[in-house]
Structure 1
């Protein structure tokens, strides 16, 4: 009786060659998400400028929304000490650490994309704030440089983190970015629109950074087997929103006003934190698909 020989075929998603149609579909997913991120960033920025910078009523509402988050003097002292650590030096430190981590993992394309992200978002924020945008009432502070720096710390960490660590880094990054972003509002350094604009700037540059890394890295990512579903990062964003909102109260801050005003203050707080969390989670999900 002859012995039968069984030839094991590589399982789909574990080293099996991908068909041209599958590769093309993956490329379309990348391009669609990059385009969606960029368009979302541009549309958000345009809406913020038209409503909160170029109309008196919008500028007044933005200023009033800044004052709905309050607390005792010691809470302000704590948050001011924290956000005062954000500086040009801290941005450069973020860049250096992120690039070093990527290079130690021999991920040169990722290191290059982080450089593009940090310099692109930082320069865009500074140019828009000081040279392009003008406010109908008072000096312009949109986008927030502090929020941009905090988001860059989070997004840089998300891009260079190994896939197994990326979910935890997403939550931790949101905690830092939200604490600094909301802290600048509670500390009366920035209005809410300034923080949201910073998120839009960082989202747009993150899309370009991921596109660059995916095209230059030329690393074959098995999307079907290894990429997490969208709901997982949506759930992480929800968890990060709850935790970050809790940190706000742990720092001693409170919602201003009474009755409907207090409800409005809560909506402002949760909305801003959720937008920051969604920005980081979206970038993390696409990074999982495209850059390992």
Structure 2
């Protein structure tokens, strides 16, 4: 939390006002689908997959990732991480929004699904769920619900909780190594997302680095917003790929 950091993130929020109405509407619609009911449905779904596989340990770990992720986020947001008033702002810009609950939900649902879904179906899962999870993080910026730091913190929390659940499973001896042939479509998918993450990171660095170096904190708000969106996507992709790397060839 620095004065410069808050100024840049607030500029990104103001830059979101310049986005197309269709993009803003899409963001609100996607975020609006994440409710208490949809969260409960996700918990029930991952638990059911574990039960059908007769893997109660995986079901418990997957449910724990989603529930613990939200518990950590709400405690941090409401009681532990007050937002210092380093920059004079009013209205929505002044409230604390770190970490992002919606981004945490999206990422923990992804990680929980990776834990509980059979190895042979993991590629299919990634094809459908990973784009959604990454998109939610960026949509929170488009809708002006959250700042970039909120989404990055949420990625870190989701990854940490999922890593702890994986460690618990490993300590129980519940994980087995898959020794079969590699699934080529899955490899292609992972390579694609790795490249997408690098492109997003590089684009975000350029969109922030160049204007900030030339114009300082008065850089164009639209460009700062675009850079924040790219960096948000890069953060979510990096967290997802890091967790997938931990579960490489784990059945």
TM-score higher than 0.5:
yes
Please say if 1:134 is aligned against 2:82. Answer: yes
Question: Could you tell me which of 231, 240, 243 is aligned with 1:271?
Answer: 231
Kindly indicate whether the alpha-carbon contact (under 8 Å) linking 1:171 and 1:239 is maintained by their aligned counterparts in 2. no
Structure 2-normalised TM-score? Answer: 0.77
- Could you give the per-residue CA deviations for residues 124-144 of structure 1, whole angstroms, max 9, x where no partner exists? 000000111111132211001
Matches of 1:226 and 1:127, distance apart in 2: 44
Matches of 1:242 and 1:131, distance apart in 2: 35
Counterpart for residue 14 of structure 2 = 67
Matches of 2:174 and 2:140, distance apart in 1: 40
Question: Could you tell me which of 145, 150, 169 is aligned with 1:189?
Answer: 145
Kindly indicate whether the alpha-carbon contact (under 8 Å) linking 2:103 and 2:136 is maintained by their aligned counterparts in 1. yes
Please say if 1:112 is aligned against 2:60. Answer: yes
Counterpart for residue 177 of structure 1 = 133
Counterpart for residue 19 of structure 1 = none
Structure 1 residue runs of 5 or longer lacking an equivalent are: 1-50, 246-255
Matches of 2:199 and 2:113, distance apart in 1: 19
Alignment of 1:1-292 (within 5 A): 51=1, 55-69=2-16, 70-137=18-85, 138-222=94-178, 235-238=191-194, 241=197, 260=211, 261=220, 264-290=224-250, 292=251
Matches of 1:165 and 1:244, distance apart in 2: 27
Counterpart for residue 91 of structure 2 = none
Matches of 2:239 and 2:189, distance apart in 1: 11
The 1:126–1:143 alpha-carbon spacing in structure 2 relative to 1, beyond 3 Å, is same
Structure 1-normalised TM-score? Answer: 0.67
Kindly indicate whether the alpha-carbon contact (under 8 Å) linking 1:196 and 1:275 is maintained by their aligned counterparts in 2. yes
Matches of 2:120 and 2:8, distance apart in 1: 42
User: How many pairs does the alignment contain?
Assistant: 225
Higher-Rg structure is: 1
The 1:281–1:228 alpha-carbon spacing in structure 2 relative to 1, beyond 3 Å, is farther
Kindly indicate whether the alpha-carbon contact (under 8 Å) linking 1:95 and 1:115 is maintained by their aligned counterparts in 2. yes
* RMSD, aligned CA: 3.1
- Could you give the per-residue CA deviations for residues 177-221 of structure 1, whole angstroms, max 9, x where no partner exists? 122211110111111111111101001001011111222253442
Structure 2 residue runs of 5 or longer lacking an equivalent are: 86-93, 202-206, 212-219
The DSSP-based 3-state class of the residue aligned with 1:201 is helix
C-alpha displacement of 1:164: 2.1
Kindly indicate whether the alpha-carbon contact (under 8 Å) linking 2:104 and 2:155 is maintained by their aligned counterparts in 1. yes
Moved over 4 A (4+): 225-229, 231-234, 239-245, 259-266
- Could you give the per-residue CA deviations for residues 96-126 of structure 1, whole angstroms, max 9, x where no partner exists? 1001011111222111111221121110000
- Could you give the per-residue CA deviations for residues 4-36 of structure 1, whole angstroms, max 9, x where no partner exists? xxxxxxxxxxxxxxxxxxxxxxxxxxxxxxxxx
C-alpha displacement of 1:88: 2.2
The 1:171–1:266 alpha-carbon spacing in structure 2 relative to 1, beyond 3 Å, is farther
Matches of 2:118 and 2:237, distance apart in 1: 19
